[in-house]
Each structure stands twice: as structure tokens, then as C-alpha cells.
Amino acid sequence: MNPSSPPSDLDWIVPQDVSPMRIDRLIAARLENLSRTRVKALIEAGEVVADGAVVRDPARIVHPGARITVRIPPPVAPTQPAASIPLKIIHEDEHLIVVNKQPGLVVHPAPGHREDTLVNALIAHCGDSLSGIGGVARPGIVHRLDRDTSGLLVVAKTDEAHIRLAAAISAREVERAYQAVCWKVPVPRAGRVDGAIGRHPRHRTRMAVVTRGGRAADTRYRTLFDVGGEVSLVECQLGTGRTHQVRVHMASLHCPLVGDTLYGRARTPPAKLDPSVSAQVADFPRQALHAYRLALTHPATGSPLSFEASPPRDFERLLTAMQAARKNPAPALDGTASKRHL
């Protein structure tokens, strides 16, 4: 798509290698930033066209070769209140903002968090200059980070930027790299996890690697170094952006993140672990995960953009202790990891 001529709609042909599926599932897979509820609302409002005909049934089955058009709704004024929450802005122009989100900040309003989210802070900073594609609950939000995950996040200020950024993420053209501190060391030390992610069959608040009913998920990783085989710093690169993806995939390798009580268990650091590292991991208050690198093509100019963000102080203290006790160098990024399915 030519960046000099912004589209008014999102329009594409269903690839031949895609199996027939419900149109709401197809659109949700194409636009990962939109919830299924939002996609359903767009369909029922007549904003989706398949082969020239308006579709109002979310369960409509579409086949390879079908031409799908999702009409861009006019921007909707945000209904959430503005909130004076400090933002660490890495880059801003008329089309997008890149922020370094602090841990503990929820991205968009949800039960229990109506006025203290990143969206509220963005409304205060930008006023009405945020994309309305995601609906009034998520103005400008193209992708998300968990509440207790820190790091880089891009936000769209125009509908055209939102559509292009969402399409780029879906096409795996946006680089998103994380630093994760894990218990133990992944085997192999570098590889790829491609286990589909869905709801845990027994614990509904958790996600899991599943064999049926999940969404395709892809994470490449490499172990940068470890401390006595007990904890390791792992770089993870996302191919997809599923809920809790890094946390789930590392746990599937029996290497849950330090501080992650949802996918790991409370641990007493082993006696042989370096004392300074032991003190840091024992008291770490959240999952040790930081989105440190983001690279993308500017949705309006076509220019490459690349950003890196330093971790917050708690994560920095943990890394400093680990680096002082480091043992093993990083391997090349290759190989495929084994997966454990539920």
C-alpha cells in the first residue's frame, strides 16, 4: 500500500492458503488489535462487505479468493475521562506516538480500572487526536502490554495510521522484542516456540499452549546469559501478539518468568544462587518482562523507525545483579524449541 495515498477502507483478498472460516474470526485474525466484540459490532452495523455485498452475520463463512472490505467508521469522541498520568513519550508526530509504559499501568479501561489507564493519560495528552478505529474504549490502541509489563507501545493518532499499523503487525512487519528474566535456562538455549494459545481448560483466568481451539502464536527466543543455570536473561521476539504470549510460551518450556505468579509458582531461590541475584528475584514484585525494542515502517511517510527503551529501576537492579554473576555467553538465534501442549 502506497503511504502517500491513505486508504479510506481496509480492503484485501482472502489468501488461497486460508481455510474457510467465519468472517468475524477472519477479520479478528487480520486486525489483531480489535476485539471479537468490536469486530462483531462493525459487522452488525453494516461496515463489512464481502464480494460487494454487505455482511451482517458474524457467522457468515468466507472462502479463499473472497474480497473483504472493512469500512473505517468516523472517529468517535472518547467517553473515558482524561487523567493526569505521566507519560514517557519516546516519539510523537501527527500520525503516531511511541510511549515507554511503566509497570502497573493498565492499557485500556476495564472493570476496576476506569480512569487510571494509559488510554486516560493519552486522552489528556492528545485530546481528540486519537484514532477511533478500536472503538471508544480503546482510542488509538494498536497493540497492548499487560499491566505489569513495561516497555514500548505504539499508539495511532489517525485512522489511516491505525489501519496501516494493524495491517503491518498482522503481516509480521513490526519488530517487537522483549527482555525476560526466567527461572532456569530454556532447552535449547535459542529457538522458536509456535504453540497455539487459548484459554486454559481448567483455569479460566490463564492462557495456555493448546492443541485445539487456540490462536496461532509464534515466539523466537535466545538466552543471552544465565546465572548458574538457575535464572536466565532471554530475548523474545514476537511473530504474533497473543494475550500473555511470552509468559505462556516461556512457561511451556518450563522456564516461567521471575515474579510471574500466574504462570509460575512462588519460589525460594536455591542456596547455590549468587546472593545478590537471590535477593533481587526473591522480592521481584511482578513478571520480569520489558518490551525493549520496537521497529516499524512509518504508516504515512514509509520511513523506517526504530526505538529502544531502558527498563524501569526494579528490572535494572535485577539485571545489574545478574550481569555481575553472569556465566555463559549468548548463542546464535537458531533452532526450534520443543513444546509442551495441554
State the first-to-last Cα distance of the chain, in angstroms, to the nearest integer. 40
148 is catalytic: no
Angle formed at CA 66 by CA 63 and CA 71, multiple of 5 degrees: 120
Q: What is the DSSP string of 111-176?
A: TTBSSSBHHHHHHHHHTT-S--TT-TTSTTBSS---TT-EEEEEEESSHHHHHHHHHHHHTT-SEE
Helices (H), the chain: 23-30, 36-44, 118-126, 159-170, 245-252, 275-282, 313-324
The grid coordinates of residue 286 equal: 511482578
Catalytic residue among 146, 159, 260, 274: 146
Residue type, 104: G
Q: Which helix (H) or strand (E) holds 85?
A: none
The grid coordinates of residue 321 equal: 545483579
Q: Which residues are catalytic?
A: 146
